[in-house]
Structure 1
């Protein structure tokens, strides 16, 4: 009798993403920060994030970074709360401090 093997039993467990799409992150090595535009998982290696950011030379740029190279931007008024990129609000929306 032939047994079927499911993909789940032979692939490693997927690693959860640490950062969300649209979330702002700092580059660990510099004072630069940007927005997560895309992310990818790999069988070997750590999760990758495509970051759109302003480089030190003041030019807008985008590049893939490993998860360990990034740290979440946090709101100074609410420690531990992640910050997300700007979105266009509806005309009747009110922003409160």
Structure 2
């Protein structure tokens, strides 16, 4: 999954692999499947991703409760930290700042 840079810089890992890794590792810890990865960015220490997870399934589906988790991964894509940053209903729309 990773390869070293000959100049000794950070290992190269593809963003798609990091997204899958973040979602899979969080799912394993929470015991719930991820809905999506809504954000991904490179940091000085690795990667940061926002993963959306279904927490309470309801009928109708628009009233189901989801949560957004901020997941921090190291340069190899291994989870080092996570926290829930938001809970919301599926039908909720964010308001502009």
> Highest Rg: 1 or 2?
1
Q: Same fold (TM over 0.5)?
A: no
Structure with more strand by fraction = 2
TM-score by length of structure 1 reads: 0.42
TM-score by length of structure 2 reads: 0.42
Structure with more helix by fraction = 2
